[in-house]
Amino acid sequence: MLIAGFPAGPWGTNCYVVATGAGAECVVIDPGKDAAEGVEAVVREHRLKPVSVLVTHGHVDHMWCVAPVAGTYDATAYIHPNDRHLLADPMAGMSAETTAMMLGGKYEFAEPDRVEELADGQTLELAGLELVVDHTPGHTAGSVVFRTPYGEADIDSLMFSGDLLFAGSIGRTDLPGGDHPTMLRSLRDKVLPLADNIVVLPGHGEQTSIGRERATNPFLLDLLDGAGPNQPGVGQVTRGL
């Protein structure tokens, strides 16, 4: 399997290009601001053909270049229906800080020509890859993660976690559409049951694993200790857009 990831734009959002190998079709995950050139470089180096653009959630730092990348390669974009409106109206999901950063600029956002909606538990077969979709609301109402089998070097699978789970932290829930108890339910129901040897490729920061986060992430430890969605936990976070 070929996996190329790079941080892009002012938010350092990780964009991933995934294929079965060089010279094959590929999927692009979360092309945020300034990601189009990085995608082009990876595609050119490995002789790839993007056929799909997958979006973990609709925040602008993850979907800024969805339409340009999809349009360039005649690819189909995939997003959960609860976040689909953000493709054309990302301001609806922005923080005050991000809105202020963008004031004065001339930005136009629109849906790609082809958009498919994701469903919880769905299995996508794209570019020779099998990707399972888990709906994990909390950071946004339409947040999802993608899991794909890996089966090498004692790694069961890969999880592209967006802004659900980071190394040592979780996504913020203080933006429009965010909800902390819902985030904790997603972590409890969709993350904690997973195998330790799943590698997590997050939307920001370094890669990690389910086992490492289960053992060290204060938010997961809090859930394991019994602080559920309706109980006080270790507090809010502000990582992400």
Each residue's pLDDT tens digit, 192-217: 999 999 999 999 999 999 999 999 99
Q: Is residue 67 part of a domain?
A: yes
Q: Is residue 11 part of a domain?
A: yes
Asked if 133 contacts 54 with a C-beta cutoff of 8 angstroms, the reply is no
Q: Is residue 184 part of a domain?
A: yes
Q: Is residue 32 part of a domain?
A: yes
* Tally of structural domains, the chain: 1
Question: Residue 226: pLDDT band by 50, 70, 90 thresholds?
Answer: confident
Q: Is residue 235 part of a domain?
A: no
pLDDT, residue 86, reads: 92
Q: Is residue 239 part of a domain?
A: no
Asked if 9 contacts 35 with a C-beta cutoff of 8 angstroms, the reply is yes
Q: Is residue 218 part of a domain?
A: yes
Q: Is residue 236 part of a domain?
A: no
- 172's tokens: 């913020």
- Which whole-number Å values give the CA distances from 104 to 58, 87, 99, in the listed order? 22, 20, 10
Question: Residue 227: pLDDT band by 50, 70, 90 thresholds?
Answer: low
Domain that residue 217 falls in: 2-224
CATH number of the domain to which 138 belongs: 3.60.15.10
pTM as predicted: 0.90
The one-letter amino acid code at 207 reads Q
